């Protein structure tokens, strides 16, 4: 569409034709920045001459939003989040969210938290929500996912794919488990895939947890540092044992929720039965151990590489 | 499971091994024919969980986590080098001389009227720096100072307590019956009180280490004169060899070296092949302590020490040796009360409150020294 036609639209007093044409607009806003800047230019130009059409458009959008259930304060807040975004586009995106079955309040919270949501096209939104539905994160579950991770709509598909791939192929979670996991800990979407794998391996091999335990305890929402600190403290105290091949331990291990979910005070008082100052010292010592084993591991890798190179050279010599 | 996960397991299991093993000792999978399924350090931990869980009850978890975490060191200042400079340098690191602090406290506190004898004096001239409670900083490695001698010796600060408790006085003849690898021997020399010091250990290789320590810390004229004699004989024979000879005797016996056994695989006494040897330890310890007592002059003093938490290697041995001397030799030995001594060092070390005889430093994350058991005895004149 030519910029000239576009500018003409802004001077048309009739609201309806404005709405009709505007429905086509939003894609162009995202895909063609030059059109957007042109819009801003036109608006600036018009400011002096015809204030009415712009405020009329705003009025239309405002009343639509209010019809959807947003109160006046929320509406004003929404409209000021991303000034570069056309109010009509904002309305379209909000409408999409509501079409997904979300209520105004959670939508308001999500959009306020991540204003870049407003820059999406309805096409992108539909594509993403369809994908999420395929993952099992449809209507009812979407609210929590959106709340925990609004970026789930703006993220690159490739990044989401990598996360799901790790969960499925490396960690061997079932499809249902993956759905439940992502529903409970939407933050997983944004985790680095290799860190995710490491966290899983720590849970499965080091702590002896089963897939179901990992999902139900929201294990992935905790940082690796916190997990290691609390688990290794309990282990060295003698209050946690990694189950043997038969899945047995000599002592009853504390419940996962009593290890990870509780506050540090409660963890120390009830699970570890230890003092804050001892735990503080332990954390410092553990930190240092981790640092040193990391630099140690990379040294070892270098040494092993050198050894392998030497061995290869020897083999070559023998062949000669 | 898919191969990539297995690879990850190996990496994780490496991380489980919390001690960096020296490269030459490291398990090399491509050359080994069998995997070490149950390492001796793990056997040691199982053994400790069983016996110390009962012996220490609720105290055991905090001891256990400390034993499994990095230990704390003290820096014993070398009086034969520029000790005042070294002390100043260590103070700049915000470390404190715990011996000096304890002695200052002793001077401030008036002695109880109830004690029949004056509280025993600590061996003099010992300066040992540690970082404060909860401070996990490490000392820089010791360096050669002027005079070609090392500036300080890094050791478990609790190891100094048996030497302090022995209460050397100027001109004493001293015997260190199980001296290797030489930390306590060095401390004995630092007091400046030894008219003669006899340092002995059955193991020639470990005596070699002791020689190296003396070489790095002690001036030649002291090492090579008549003052210091180093031997590698069987300590159990000392009653016959040099009976009734020494003013002060230190018997720092071979034991299960609890902390060490949880971390080092090499020569670990908890290896299945050494089970018999381990079970015979208390008997060996009684024999060594008895020999040390026999080598003491009547009226002289002995300190028995181990770095184990076990009743069987500590109080039982003391009581066994005293009984043996009474029954077989009609020699009376009295245990000396060290509770005053313990109070002096309570701020630096964590002591077990319920020893029948002697004192026991238990590891605690706030003061990760020990284990160190010591008991002072007086051979009655």
Residues of B serving a catalytic function are 307
Which residues does chain B have within 8 Å of residue A297's beta carbon, measured at their own beta carbons? 11, 14-15
Q: How confident is the model at residue B26 (pLDDT cuts 50, 70, 90)?
A: low
Q: What is the mean pLDDT of residues B125-129?
A: 98
- Distance (Å) from the C-alpha of residue B84 to the closest C-alpha of chain A? 31
Q: How confident is the model at residue B10 (pLDDT cuts 50, 70, 90)?
A: low
pLDDT reported for residue A98: 87
With an 8 Å Cβ cutoff, is A216 touching chain B? no
Q: What is the mean pLDDT of residues B81-86?
A: 94
- Distance (Å) from the C-alpha of residue B320 to the closest C-alpha of chain A? 33
- Better-scored residue on pLDDT, B376 or B7: B376
Which residues does chain A have within 8 Å of residue B18's beta carbon, measured at their own beta carbons? 289, 293
Is residue B219 marked as binding? no
With an 8 Å Cβ cutoff, is A194 touching chain B? no
Q: How confident is the model at residue A6 (pLDDT cuts 50, 70, 90)?
A: very low
Q: What is the mean pLDDT of residues B59-73?
A: 98
User: Closest-CA residue in chain A for B134?
Assistant: A281
Is residue B184 marked as binding? yes
pLDDT reported for residue B31: 55
What tens digit of pLDDT does each residue of B241-300 get? 999 999 999 999 999 999 999 999 999 999 999 999 999 999 999 999 999 999 999 999
What tens digit of pLDDT does each residue of A259-296 get? 999 999 999 999 999 999 999 999 999 999 999 998 88
Judged on CB neighbours under 10 Å (0-12, 13-18, 19+), B72 is: buried
With an 8 Å Cβ cutoff, is A154 touching chain B? no
The answer, yes or no, to whether residue A8 has pLDDT greater than 50, is: no
Q: Which positions 322-381 of B are in contact with A (Cβ < 8 Å)?
A: 364-366
pLDDT reported for residue A81: 84
Q: Which positions 123-152 of A are in contact with B (Cβ < 8 Å)?
A: none
Q: Which positions 241-300 of A are in contact with B (Cβ < 8 Å)?
A: 273-274, 277-278, 280-282, 284-286, 288-289, 292-293, 296-297
The reply to whether residue B12 touches residue A205, judged by beta carbons under 8 angstroms, is yes
- Better-scored residue on pLDDT, A294 or A228: A228
- Better-scored residue on pLDDT, B105 or B54: B54
Q: How confident is the model at residue A83 (pLDDT cuts 50, 70, 90)?
A: confident
Between CA B252 and CA B184 the distance in angstroms is 9
The answer, yes or no, to whether residue A9 has pLDDT greater than 90, is: no
The CATH class of the B46-107+117-379 domain is: alpha beta
pLDDT reported for residue B112: 56
- Across chain B, mean pLDDT equals 91
- This complex has an ipTM of 0.87
With an 8 Å Cβ cutoff, is B284 touching chain A? no
Instruction: Map residue A315 onto helix, strand or coil.
Output: helix
Between CA B183 and CA B219 the distance in angstroms is 16
pLDDT reported for residue B118: 52
- Distance (Å) from the C-alpha of residue B64 to the closest C-alpha of chain A? 6
Q: What is the mean pLDDT of residues B65-92?
A: 97
- Distance (Å) from the C-alpha of residue B356 to the closest C-alpha of chain A? 26
pLDDT reported for residue B210: 97
Is this structure's pTM higher than 0.80?
yes
Is residue B178 marked as binding? yes
What tens digit of pLDDT does each residue of B289-329 get? 999 999 999 999 999 999 999 999 999 999 999 999 999 99
pLDDT reported for residue B346: 95
Residues A142, A129 contacting (CB under 8 angstroms): yes
CA angle (A18, A23, A24) in 5-degree steps: 110
Q: Which positions 33-52 of A are in contact with B (Cβ < 8 Å)?
A: none
pLDDT reported for residue A12: 41
Q: Which among B12, B23, B49 has the least Cβ separation from residue A202?
A: B12
Between CA B65 and CA A37 the distance in angstroms is 64
Q: Which among B12, B20, B136 has the least Cβ separation from residue A285?
A: B136
Q: How confident is the model at residue A10 (pLDDT cuts 50, 70, 90)?
A: very low
Q: What is the mean pLDDT of residues B193-210?
A: 96
Q: What is the mean pLDDT of residues B6-16?
A: 52
The reply to whether residue B64 touches residue A236, judged by beta carbons under 8 angstroms, is yes
């Amino acid at each position: 569409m030519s910029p000239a036609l576009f500018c003409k639209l802004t001077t048309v007093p009739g609201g309806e034709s404005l709405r009709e044409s505007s429905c086509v607009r939003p894609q162009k806003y995202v895909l063609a920045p030059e059109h957007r800047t042109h819009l801003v230019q036109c608006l600036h130009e018009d400011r002096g001459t015809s204030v009415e059409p712009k405020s009329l458009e705003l009025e239309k959008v405002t009343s639509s939003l209010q019809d959807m259930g947003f109160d006046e304060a929320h509406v004003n807040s929404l409209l000021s989040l991303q000034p570069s975004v056309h109010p009509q586009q904002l309305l379209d995106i909000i409408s999409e969210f509501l079409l997904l079955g979300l209520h105004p309040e959670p939508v308001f919270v999500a959009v306020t938290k991540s204003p870049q949501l407003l820059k999406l096209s309805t096409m992108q939104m539909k594509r993403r929500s369809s994908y999420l539905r395929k993952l099992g994160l449809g209507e009812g579950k979407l609210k929590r996912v959106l709340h925990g991770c609004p970026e789930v709509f703006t993220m690159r598909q490739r990044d989401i794919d990598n996360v799901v791939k790790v969960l499925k192929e490396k960690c061997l979670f079932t499809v249902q488990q993956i759905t439940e996991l992502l529903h409970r800990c939407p933050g997983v979407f944004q985790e680095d895939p290799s860190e995710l794998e490491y966290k899983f391996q720590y849970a499965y091999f080091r702590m002896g947890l089963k897939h179901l335990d990992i999902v139900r305890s929201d294990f992935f929402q905790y940082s690796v540092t916190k997990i290691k600190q609390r688990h290794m403290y309990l282990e060295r105290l003698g209050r946690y044992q990694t189950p043997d091949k038969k899945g047995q331990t000599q002592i009853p291990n504390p419940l996962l929720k009593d290890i990870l979910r509780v506050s540090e005070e409660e963890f120390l008082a009830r699970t570890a039965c230890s003092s804050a100052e001892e735990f503080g010292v332990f954390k410092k010592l553990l930190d240092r151990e981790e640092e040193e084993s990391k630099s140690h591991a990379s040294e070892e890798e270098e040494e092993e590489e050198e050894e392998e190179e030497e061995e290869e050279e020897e083999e070559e010599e023998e062949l000669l | 499971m898919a191969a990539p996960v297995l690879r990850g397991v190996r990496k994780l299991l490496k991380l489980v091994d919390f001690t960096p093993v020296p490269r030459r000792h490291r398990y090399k999978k491509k050359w080994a024919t069998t995997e070490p399924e149950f390492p001796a350090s793990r056997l040691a931990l199982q053994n400790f969980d069983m016996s110390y869980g009962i012996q220490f009850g609720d105290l055991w978890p905090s001891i256990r986590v400390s034993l499994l975490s990095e230990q704390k060191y003290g820096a014993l200042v070398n009086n034969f080098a520029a000790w005042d400079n070294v002390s100043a340098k260590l103070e700049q690191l915000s470390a404190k001389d715990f011996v000096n602090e304890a002695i200052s406290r002793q001077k401030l506190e008036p002695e109880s009227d109830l004690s029949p004898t004056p509280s025993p004096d600590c061996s003099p001239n010992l300066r040992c720096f540690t970082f404060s409670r909860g401070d996990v900083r490490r000392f820089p490695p010791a360096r050669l100072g002027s005079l070609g001698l090392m500036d300080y010796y890094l050791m478990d600060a609790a190891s100094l307590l048996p030497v302090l408790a022995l209460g050397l006085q100027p001109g004493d003849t001293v015997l260190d019956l199980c001296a290797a690898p030489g930390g306590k021997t060095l401390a004995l020399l630092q007091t400046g009180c030894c008219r003669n010091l006899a340092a002995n250990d059955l193991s020639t290789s470990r005596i070699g280490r002791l020689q190296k320590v003396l070489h790095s810390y002690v001036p030649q004229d002291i090492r090579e004169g008549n003052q210091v004699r180093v031997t590698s004989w069987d300590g159990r024979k000392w009653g016959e060899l040099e009976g009734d000879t020494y003013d002060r005797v230190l018997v720092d016996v071979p034991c299960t070296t609890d902390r060490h056994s949880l971390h080092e695989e090499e020569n670990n006494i908890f290896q299945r092949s050494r089970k018999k040897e381990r079970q015979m330890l208390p008997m060996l310890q009684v024999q060594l302590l008895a020999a040390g007592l026999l080598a003491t002059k009547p009226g002289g003093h002995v300190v028995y020490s181990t770095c184990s938490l076990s009743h069987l290697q500590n109080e039982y041995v003391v009581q066994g040796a005293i009984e043996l001397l009474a029954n077989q030799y009609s020699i009376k030995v009295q245990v000396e009360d060290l509770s005053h001594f313990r109070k002096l060092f309570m701020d630096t070390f964590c002591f077990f409150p319920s020893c029948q005889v002697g004192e026991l430093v238990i590891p605690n994350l706030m003061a990760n020294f020990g284990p160190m058991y010591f008991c002072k005895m007086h051979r009655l004149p």
